[in-house]
Amino acid sequence: MKIILKNLTKRYPNRNRKIKEDVIAVNNFDFEIPDGELIGLLGPSGCGKSTTLNMICGLEQPTEGKIFFGEDDVTALPPENRGVGMVFQSYALYPHLTVRQNIRFPLENRKGKEKLSNEEMDRMAEEAARMVQIENLMDRKPGEMSGGQQQRVAIARALVKRPRVLLLDEPLSNLDARLRLQTREEIRRIQKETGITTVFVTHDQEEAMSISDRIVVMEVGVVQQIGRPQDVYDDPANLFVAKFLGTPAVNLFDGRVEKRKVYVGEDAILEVPDVPDQPVTVGIRPEGFEPDEQGSLPCSLISVEVMGRDTSVVAKHPAFLGEQIRTIIDSDERPDGKSDVVRFRIRPNKVHLFVPETGERVRFTLPRKEARIAHI
Amino acid sequence: MDKNNRKAWLYLLPALIFLGIFMVYPLFDVLVYSLEEGYNSASQTFFGYGIFNFSYVLRDPYFLQAVKNTFILVIITVPLSTGIALLISLGLHSIKPLKELFQTIYFLPYVTNTLAVGLVFMILFKKTPYTDGFINLIIQAFGGSSVDFIEGPYWAKMFVMCFYTIWVVLPFKILILTSALASVNPDYYKAARVDGTGSFRIFTRITLPMISPMIFYLVITGFIGAFKAYSDEVAIFGTDLNASGMNTIVGYVYDMLYGDSGGYPSYASAAALILFAIVLTITCINLLASRKTVTRS
């Protein structure tokens, strides 16, 4: 079931009554979610991602705009008539009911013609439980289970009524690091098996990047960029997206374009044939640095942190915006640490230029030869 | 006894001494009094030990009346007050505008003195040579004939008594239940809405189980409080409760100690122990019943 969001807008009256202006939680969200895809809504807290999810769910009414599931306009429908399954951040499992009763709960609500027999409900509950592999825990109460198991029960309860759309609000935030990895793969598997169009909300970019078919990056109610995770990472629409995606974060420098060269401080690091002279903010991904004695960017070395496969070189540069430059390099290439200065060659495809005031992207054509090298 | 253990007892000592003096010793003393036959408080003498005091109290018509009154009061007021408090707190929980104002209004009786409330009830219900009282005026307006609620028939007095007790215990119960309702995670209700649960089913399957520990607490303390009723009766019917036929068990104990017919600590102790046995039994029954119904998360 594809989901179409048309000019979706949500405004709240300001909590501070002296301010007449409304708070815009979601501003003009336009997006068509293809059938059967897993979509991650990503952004810092307060960016409107949860509000968007609640509007798709029907728990909140949009101020403007429309929501379609397939061809049906569901904007005015209450949640129970939309055919959505929702997994809450707190799981919201009823603590006094067993797992079986929890999963059966949505089915027991059905009335009239849709009413199911006891056996039918049990069969459907078992089926949903098998899907998330908790069929041996059916008689436990939520309090007797681990966080990961509770999460599965919550997913089973959302799936049992065979929803057209599955919604997950911060599904992994209550789990520890190891379970988080395991559970996100689990969510991916369940989504693939059922083929249900799924939207989930997260503030964790790694989580969103790793399992989503597409991610939507939001800030202060405005969609910043929509795309496949790798595309968004490689080709951020603006400074916010570039900063928000990637760990360690993108390294930002105060720079300028002069005579077709990008300068970071006094160091020219890159040739850009098609950009007019202007001040720019230069963003370089941590993996865009290569130690090279002839490199164009000299930095003062602070420390070398070995992480096994990779090495993180921490360095300083006068034009750097922030405390320390963090780079990720191959462990074989790591500097010996004898010298205080480390020189880097910069991979052109890992460099993004932005207008300093607006954060807008300044696009440039990669020099062909270097681009090819970068791909090897 | 190792050193740590001795230290622990040392820390506990002050509390144990106070508990011993003010709790354990009086309890023990009451038991002794209740078994001393023919005790005379003036000469501090008695004939011997036995269970005569108990059999006397159990045959005393005033005591039997007091037991009957107390039981009627308990059986009527505890379920009614808990139920009404639940309805009012549900209302308070779901209204949005002026919520705090309403919560304050409903809590006011709690901070009002019992005797002051009693006075108001007297004005509402009492028949005097000048007026029949406010409630009687209403009854007459609807074509009924007036009833003397304070000195009239037994059922009328009992009605005022129950009405008064419910009125007095409501605020505390409402306070507890509104906070219990507010502490239920709203995600449960959202999840129920997404699954299309009807509001009655939400109430019976989610809200009630979630707040059941608090309801249980109110029922137990309500039973105990109602069994110990006394001051409310005095506030409405005056100190001679035996004469008005509205005495309670605690009132009987008080009368046996200090009332006009008082000076019998042995009878008072026996009556107090009988009350203790009744409250203990009821509380045990409550606890057993709660095991099956109360949800603990």
* pLDDT at A373 (0 to 100): 46
With an 8 Å Cβ cutoff, is B197 touching chain A? Answer: yes
* pLDDT at A57 (0 to 100): 93
With an 8 Å Cβ cutoff, is A78 touching chain B? Answer: yes
Which is it for strands A261-264 and A310-316: parallel, antiparallel or unpaired? unpaired
Nearest to B151 by CA among B121, B126, B133, B134: B126
Domain B52-293 coded CATH 3.50.50.60 = no
Q: What ipTM was reported for this prediction?
A: 0.81
Q: Which residues of chain B have pLDDT under 70?
A: 1, 262, 295-297
Q: Chain A residues with CB inside 8 Å of B96's CB?
A: none
Per residue in A229-275, pLDDT (tens digit) is 999 999 999 999 999 998 889 999 999 999 888 999 888 888 888 88
Which is it for strands B36-37 and B48-49: parallel, antiparallel or unpaired? antiparallel
Question: What single DSSP character describes residue A320?
Answer: B
| CB proximity list for A179: less than 8 A, separation 6 or greater | A146, A147, A148
When CB atoms are compared, the residue of A85, A92, A96 closest to B187 is A92
Domain ranges within chain B, ordered by starting residue: 52-293
Q: Do A94 and B209 touch (CB under 8 A)?
A: yes
When CB atoms are compared, the residue of B192, B193, B295 closest to A95 is B295
* pLDDT at A254 (0 to 100): 92
Instruction: State which CATH number among 3.40.50.150, 3.40.50.300, 3.90.1200.10, 3.40.50.970 fits the domain covering A3-240.
Output: 3.40.50.300
Residues of chain A numbered 36-65 and touching chain B (CB < 8 Å)? 57-59
* pLDDT at A367 (0 to 100): 66
* Residues A98, B186: Cα–Cα separation, whole Å: 20
Q: Chain B residues with CB inside 8 Å of A58's CB?
A: 194
Nearest to A353 by CA among A368, A366, A365, A363: A363
Q: Do A89 and B187 touch (CB under 8 A)?
A: yes
* pLDDT at B15 (0 to 100): 95
Quote the pTM value. Answer: 0.80
With an 8 Å Cβ cutoff, is B99 touching chain A? Answer: no
**Could you list the pLDDT tens digit for every one of the 376 residues in chain A?**
899 999 999 998 887 777 778 888 899 899 999 999 999 999 998 888 999 999 999 999 999 999 999 889 999 999 988 989 999 999 999 999 999 999 999 999 888 778 888 899 999 999 999 988 888 999 999 999 988 899 999 999 999 989 999 999 988 888 888 888 888 888 899 999 999 999 999 988 888 898 899 999 999 889 999 999 999 999 999 999 999 998 889 999 999 999 888 999 888 888 888 889 999 999 999 999 988 888 889 999 998 888 888 889 999 998 999 889 999 988 887 777 678 888 999 998 899 999 999 999 998 887 665 544 444 3
Locate the chain B residue with the closest alpha carbon to A105. B195
Q: Do A58 and B195 touch (CB under 8 A)?
A: no
Domain ranges within chain A, ordered by starting residue: 3-240, 250-375
* pLDDT at B95 (0 to 100): 85
Q: Do A94 and B206 touch (CB under 8 A)?
A: yes
Q: Do A96 and B187 touch (CB under 8 A)?
A: no
